[in-house]
Structure 1
């Protein structure tokens, strides 16, 4: 058994949307040849705030998959929102983060709250780092989530609003996503958007 296996034994994965390690299982991403189970916090733990300071490029906050590294870089640079997320203790787990862009895409793909047609103009839905690989959205796919607790007006549902990812685009902008129609875009870092925290567990 390798040292990695001793520290992080294989994780038995539940179905998407099932309670798991402090939140709800929201899908698998790959980084550096390793697979990670992503966990989304419950709606009660959402936060609202600015991503950071407009015009300031933060080193180390550019990953599309490593939510924690991005968030730690943001917090070190003075982001109040990132600091609040890092301070969370949910179900005894303290490694929460603002979701990286491709981790956030899984949240929409698997927990879409509405029955509205998806926005599908640019690269919305393109996710080379998920398993299965995420394909471009169509108007019909993804459909409203089959998980009742995450449907609109249900306890765990995402709001039909914009949510921050922790993935930086430039000194002025960071990636964000609209959870009413699935539009993936960039937003001025000084705007106040919502965050649904995530954490991850190494699978293998």
Structure 2
């Protein structure tokens, strides 16, 4: 019987940031070692509320595992997570609302504006005015801070903040194992 165990010496080259892959674009490597794939803007971005009430959302506490967070909160009370979980893009149906770590990684690698910190991305499609550029605005993460707050990542100045008020940008992501 052939050996089907993975080759421990096998290395897979990491694609360049912005490379089209797995239904979206390569956005970087998460702290958990998985590849973050950001959805195409036309199909995977909208503006929604994180939650319809200012109450706790048990299970949405991971700073790294956005898929687990999303699975715990993808219902009618959580419009942003429900939107992401319902997507099927490029034949993939594991899209989710990115964790705080995911969104911070995307901000560092795909910042749309020039003159900021971090510097504007070198990926033309994600630069300000580009077809895939993040809006220079607050984007929801799947990470809850406390009963009345969920984390947001800003793609204008790189700031992070928490609230559950208002409607903000949502951009779906998925993760790929190396």
- TM-score normalised to the size of structure 1? 0.78
Cα distance in 2 between the residues matched to 1:112 and 1:77: 31
Output one character per residue of 1:131-183: Cα deviation in whole Å (capped at 9) or x when no partner.
xxxxxxxxxxx210000110011101011111101100011010001111111
Whether the 8 Å contact between 1:59 and 1:73 is mirrored in structure 2 is: yes
- In the alignment, which residue of structure 2 is the partner of 1:30? 31
Partner Cα separation in structure 2 for residue 2 and residue 184 of structure 1: 44
Runs of 5+ consecutive residues of structure 2 not aligned to the other structure: none
* 1:42 has 2:40 as partner: yes
Query: Could you say what the CA RMSD is over the residues aligned between the two structures, in angstroms?
Result: 2.1
Shift of 1:190: 3.3
Partner of 1:132: none
| Residues 54 and 171, structure 1, Cα contact 8 Å, conserved in 2 | no
- Note the alpha carbon deviations across 1:89-143, whole angstroms, 9 max, x for none: 110010001110010001110110001333xxxxxxxxxxxxxxxxxxxxxxx21
Aligned residues: 173
Alignment correspondent of 1:190: 165
Number of the residue aligned with 1:202 = 177
Aligned to 1:63: 62
CA contact (8 A) 1:95 1:199 kept: yes
Query: Is the aligned partner of 1:174 residue 2:175?
Result: no
- The equivalent of 1:145 in structure 2 is 121
Residue aligning to 1:164 = 140
SS in 1 for 2:101: helix
Runs ≥4 residues deviating over 4 A: 9-12
- Confirm or deny that 1:83 pairs with 2:82: yes
Q: Is the 8 A contact 2:31 2:101 kept in 1?
A: no
Q: CA offset at residue 11 of structure 1?
A: 5.3
- Give the stretch that moved more between structures: 174-183 or 54-63: 54-63
**TM norm structure 2:** 0.89
Structure 1 unaligned spans of 5+: 119-141
Kindly indicate whether the alpha-carbon contact (under 8 Å) linking 1:25 and 1:37 is maintained by their aligned counterparts in 2.
yes
Q: Judge conservation of contact 1:39–1:199 (CA < 8 Å) in 2.
A: yes
Equivalent position SS for 1:30: coil
Q: 1:53: how far off?
A: 3.4
